[in-house]
Structure 1
């Protein structure tokens, strides 16, 4: 059977930040990531036993540089490249655009987001290390003008499956593994990354996150709460580059590949908060814009 070009993990993300030192400090001391390497202009951090799950890059802007999604082998990577070429998305690089990635390529997809499909790096769960940080990078939530076109792209090019839809296409949750979502896409006039999310073992870790923020004179911006869509317990805080970080546990697992899409009434806030039906509307104002890169066809 030939390769279909199917993504199996969200991989990592690279964020440009105007204050690299502050971003590293936040990732280490508040979120609990492990600093793997810091060149002075670029830092690689991870929760799992892999080289990186988030990269911070010193820049004049706070922006999302690229999302990286992983595949299992070179055949799957080639199949994705063929679909990208067929749709004539601009190629940024015929090879990887991030260090420590051996096989991959980068292109600009709908609404200016740069994507790097790549063959997965070695990875191990670190849940037994005794640290206070998360176990692994879990998902992204980003906003676009046209959610329908963005979902079509994610399904057709990366082979993702839609788990849930909120309202009339206001928000979609898509999966590339049994976990309910690896990517969420919402409709907004703000185009960019809303939050990146990290999986942890239990709700106790969310409490410890709140305690760490309180000792810094800060507060969570949302939660703890249990979402309806995804069923995960989550808490959110703001990072120095302006975006939001989610820490979560207890995400719904979907083992039926063909499970039909579930829909939620956007007016019934049970989809966002099962416990009290409330949502901090201010959380919708946070956004890390897309880095606009010059493109030379490859």
Structure 2
């Protein structure tokens, strides 16, 4: 059987933080993640049964350190590695760049984003049945050339386009049945950045509880709850200490037909963004943290 080289899941996101304590506190007390392991330079957090789904890395600047993607097996990992080699992308490590991972490698792709492709993360299920999301779900990245970034994600990792907004304003891509694991938005006049990371909740009631916790922390939701058209998910957003957005969502569309063609929305149609006539704040796209240079 020919192995094409595809990822099968979103693994985790690692963010640079100037204040590990503040970042960790917001993630545990407001979002509801559990703190799994802490060192002087890293804080590992999770909602599901793996060692980490969110990593804060002590840094002099706020930014996205790297994005972790899961390969289903050794053969797919090797095939992706070969595609990276043929594409001439700069490999920064031939081994996993985080602990508790069996095998993997990391490289710098288009627009400066670092990708860590791996398999075999340790299980670490210590959930206590309290508040918080079920798992990490997706990221939204802003780029200068959305078409080139989508081509990269499709060709190297095997992502499929679920929805497209306009000719090239935004793309929603999946690597499994969930509608999107990565959303790509064109932002010509901005540096490439991670706009938000997103976490799946069981119901809209959890979004209300999140709003209560955000208010108790001294802040408030930036937007939502709202139902998106692209993805159909109900979502709420707040600002984390590093100035990225965090999304909690539920009721995401699932696509089980790998041959389903991408849905195309006119850019002028506000329905792709909101089905409830609650348009996003004017400053919604100004948020985000840049890719940390390597």
* TM bucket, shorter chain: over 0.9
Cα separation, 1, equivalents of 2:87 and 2:71: 20
**Greater than 4 Å deviation, 4+ residue runs:** 122-126
**Post-superposition offset of 1:49:** 1.4
Cα separation, 1, equivalents of 2:29 and 2:124: 22
Cα separation, 2, equivalents of 1:252 and 1:22: 33
Q: What SS does structure 2 have at the residue aligned with 1:103?
A: strand
| Pairwise CA RMSD | 1.4
Q: Deviations over 1:16-56 (max 9, x none)?
A: 10111000000000000000001122100000011000100
Q: What SS does structure 1 have at the residue aligned with 2:56?
A: strand
2:136 paired residue number: 137
Cα separation, 1, equivalents of 2:128 and 2:271: 35
Which structure 2 segments of 5+ residues have no match?
none
Equivalent runs, 1:1-298 vs 2, <5 Å: 1-122=1-122, 129-188=128-187, 189-190=189-190, 191-293=192-294
Q: Deviations over 1:162-183 (max 9, x none)?
A: 0000111100000001000000
Cα separation, 2, equivalents of 1:43 and 1:206: 25
Give the TM-score, by structure 1 length. 0.95
Q: Deviations over 1:231-270 (max 9, x none)?
A: 0000000011110000000000000001001011111111
| Contact persistence 2:101–2:122 (CA under 8 A) | no
Cα separation, 1, equivalents of 2:284 and 2:88: 35
Which structure 1 segments of 5+ residues have no match?
294-298
Q: What SS does structure 1 have at the residue aligned with 2:103?
A: coil
Q: Deviations over 1:165-213 (max 9, x none)?
A: 0111100000001000000000003211000000010000000000111
Cα separation, 2, equivalents of 1:232 and 1:120: 29
Cα separation, 1, equivalents of 2:263 and 2:36: 39
Q: How many residues align?
A: 292
Cα separation, 2, equivalents of 1:104 and 1:67: 13
Cα separation, 1, equivalents of 2:123 and 2:281: 35
Cα separation, 2, equivalents of 1:99 and 1:62: 22
